[in-house]
Amino acid sequence: MRRGQPGFTLVELLVAIAVMALLAIVSWRGLDGMVRAQQITRERADAVLELQTVLAQWGADLDALQAIEHTEPLAWDGQALRLTRRGMRQPDEGAIVVAWALRNADGTNRWLRWQSPPVRTRAEWSEAWARAAQWARTPSSAERERETLLMPLAGWQLYYYRGGAWANAQSANTGASLPQAPGGLSSTAASIPEGVRLQLTLPEGGALAGVVTRDWANPLLGGGKS
């Protein structure tokens, strides 16, 4: 071999390999961070979409409240909210009893929604109203078939707006606090509060956490309040 022939020493090769390995590690960490960031963003977007969808259904149920004489359009007992609303398919379909409740499902506390078949008589309404209360406490297998599992939830609370102030829905749901029927409304229609405030406590550790507040204004009594 001729002297002075260009080449690399063993030390130079080891240094080059070490630098390449370091660059590979840094690049992998960068890619891993990007993948994790995309995953977190996707999970958060899915959670926001789920929350928006559930709250849209909540608002649709309240917007469709139907005041039928000798029935209860809205009732909250601290565990479940029951309401009577118009049918969703046809105008003459009849009324529907809907219930919202928080219950442990598959090991996770979840918000659930239940609805009855259309009811057209007061007897059918009474039966559906009682079934909704039973479903919120100890549902049977038949009642579970009519429920929809919604989002994970740590807790929820309702407030009614009456007489210019918000109050706990349980304490405000008394006969003495109900307003007189204004503008020719029936007493049943007037029993619906001017507004309903929903407070959801989202569980820690999820894509969304904290407290979410959603206000609904009664179009017949609430005017422009929000």
* Model pLDDT for residues 87-96, shown as the tens digit of each residue: 877 666 789 9
Query: Is residue 32 scored above 80 in pLDDT?
Result: no
Q: How far apart are the first and last CA of the chain?
A: 91
Q: What's this model's pTM, rounded to 2 decimal places?
A: 0.77
Higher pLDDT, 15 or 97: 97
Cα(110)–Cα(155) distance, rounded to whole angstroms?
A: 9
Query: Which pairing describes strands 95-105 and 108-115: parallel, antiparallel, or unpaired?
Result: antiparallel
Q: Give the pLDDT mean for 160-183.
A: 69
Tens-place pLDDT, residues 141-151: 889 999 999 99
Asked whether residue 11 is domain-assigned, the answer is no
Checking phi first, is residue 94 left (phi over 0); if not, alpha (psi -120 to 50) or beta?
Answer: left
Asked whether residue 182 is domain-assigned, the answer is yes
Asked whether residue 187 is domain-assigned, the answer is yes
Asked whether residue 20 is domain-assigned, the answer is no
Asked whether residue 202 is domain-assigned, the answer is yes
Asked whether residue 36 is domain-assigned, the answer is no
Query: Is residue 8 scored above 80 in pLDDT?
Result: no
CB 215 within 8 A of CB 226: yes
Tens-place pLDDT, residues 46-63: 899 999 999 999 999 999
Amino acid code (one letter) for 109: N
Asked whether residue 4 is domain-assigned, the answer is no
Cα(11)–Cα(33) distance, rounded to whole angstroms?
A: 33
Cα(127)–Cα(134) distance, rounded to whole angstroms?
A: 11
Q: Which domain holds residue 158?
A: 43-217
Tokens representing 31?
């890619």
Asked whether residue 29 is domain-assigned, the answer is no
Q: How many domains does the chain have?
A: 1
